[in-house]
Amino acid sequence: MEHTLLLLTRDDERRAYEEQLRALKLPGLEIVAPQSERALREDLGRVTIMLAHPGLARRYINDAVNLRWLQSTFAGVDALIGPDLRTDYILTNVKETYGAVMAEWVFAYILYFEREVRENLEAQTARVWAHHPYGSVAEKTLAIIGTGSIGRHIARVARAFGMKTIGLNTSGAPADGLDETFGPAHKSQFLQRGDYVVSVLPSTPVTRGSLDADSLAGLKPGSVFMNLGRGDALVEQDLLKVLRAGRIRAAVLDVFSIEPLPKDSPLWNEPNLYITPHVSGYSISKQIFRIFAENYRRFVAGEQLMYLVDFSRGY
C-alpha cells in the first residue's frame, strides 16, 4: 500500500528535514513538503502520515481526514491534545533525542553562575584585575523535576561534573542517573535540597500551574531555578515574586505560558531573570529519522509503534 507523508516543520528546517527523509528511501512512501498554504491544503486530503512539529500540525489535524499516524518531531505533544482536536489516529513522539542538547543548555548556565562569567565581563569592562574564589559545580545538588529521558540525560551529565542528583516524579520510583528520587508527598523536601532546580515537566492536566507560589516558596535560598520543559507548568507571576523578594539567586526560562513572549511582559526586564526563546532543544537530531524509519517499518507491517502517546494522559 502506498502512503503519502506530509512534512510540517519550521521554514528554516524544512530543507534539512526533507533531504534526510528522502535519504531514508522508505518504500511505498510519497513525501510532500509544501511551501505555501494553498499547496498544503491541496495535499491535505490524501495525507495518511505526518512527520510534524506539533504546534504546526494543530492547525491541520482535523482536516487531514485520511490521516492514520502522526510522528511528532518533539517529545512534547500538548499542542495536539484538546477537546476540539481529533484523537482517531496514532500519535507518537520522540525520546532519547533532545537530552544531550538540553543538558548543554542547562550546564551553559550552571557554569555561567558558578564561574561568575558576568562578574568577570563586568570587571573586564571596568579594567579591574580582581582575584576572588570561585564556586564549584562538584558536590552541589541538581534537583530535576521530571525524570523522563531528558531529565535522566541531564542527571548523567551532572554526575560527570561531580554533582549530586535528585529527581521528582509522580511515583517516587528510582530513575537511572539519579542518586535519589522523591514523590509528590515529599516535594517540599526535594526543593529545599536543590542548589540548581531544573524543570523538564511536560504540559498535562496534572502539571499545568504546578510550579506555583507554594512550590516556589520551598526553593532553597540562593538557588537557581530553570524551566526548559513547558511554560504552563510555571506560574510566572509567582516566580517574579520570589525573585523580587531575593529568595533565590536567579531564574533561567526557555519556555513561557505565551510564546512568543509578549514585548510588554514584565519578565523581559526583571533583574536576575535570564530568557532564551524556546531554543534549549532547537536541533535537528538524526535520531528523529531513525525513530521515524523504524516506526514506518512497524506501521506498514501492522506492528505496535514506538513511543505511543496516550491522549488521555497527554504523553
pLDDT grade, residue 297 (50/70/90)? very high
Structural domains of the chain sorted by starting position, each given as residue range(s) with its CATH number in brackets: 3-97+283-301 (3.40.50.720), 99-275 (3.40.50.720)
Q: What is the pTM of this model?
A: 0.85
The conformation of residue 314, written as its DSSP 8-state character, comes to T
Taking 3-state DSSP, the helix, strand and coil percentages for the chain, each rounded to the nearest 5, stand at 35, 15, 50
Task: For the chain, report the end-to-end CA distance as a whole number of angstroms.
Answer: 30
Question: Out of 53, 58, 152, 230, which one is annotated catalytic?
Answer: 230
Instruction: Considering only residues 96 and 249, tell me which one the structure prediction assigns the higher pLDDT.
Output: 249
Residue 234: closest CA among 195, 263, 275 = 275
Please say if 278 is a catalytic residue.
Answer: yes
Q: Is the pLDDT of residue 21 over 90?
A: yes
pLDDT grade, residue 96 (50/70/90)? confident
Task: Dig out the grid coordinates for 271 from the structure.
Answer: 533583574
How confident is the model over 244-267, as a mean pLDDT?
97
Provide the 3-class DSSP secondary structure of residue 226.
strand
pLDDT at res. 219:
98
- Main-chain phi, psi angles of 71, to 5 degrees: -100, 110
pLDDT at res. 278:
94
pLDDT at res. 256:
98
Q: Chain-wide mean pLDDT for the chain?
A: 95
Cis peptide preceding 34, ω within 30 of 0: no
Please say if 259 is a catalytic residue.
Answer: yes
Q: Is the pLDDT of residue 50 over 80?
A: yes
pLDDT at res. 212:
97
pLDDT grade, residue 283 (50/70/90)? confident
Question: Out of 37, 122, 139, 259, which one is annotated catalytic?
Answer: 259
Q: Is the pLDDT of residue 57 over 80?
A: yes
Please say if 186 is a catalytic residue.
Answer: no
pLDDT digits (tens, 9 = 90+) for 190-223: 999 999 999 999 998 899 999 999 999 999 999 9
**Are 249 and 226 contacting, i.e. CB atoms less than 8 angstroms apart?**
no
Question: Out of 247, 278, 290, 298, which one is annotated catalytic?
Answer: 278
How confident is the model over 299-309, as a mean pLDDT?
97
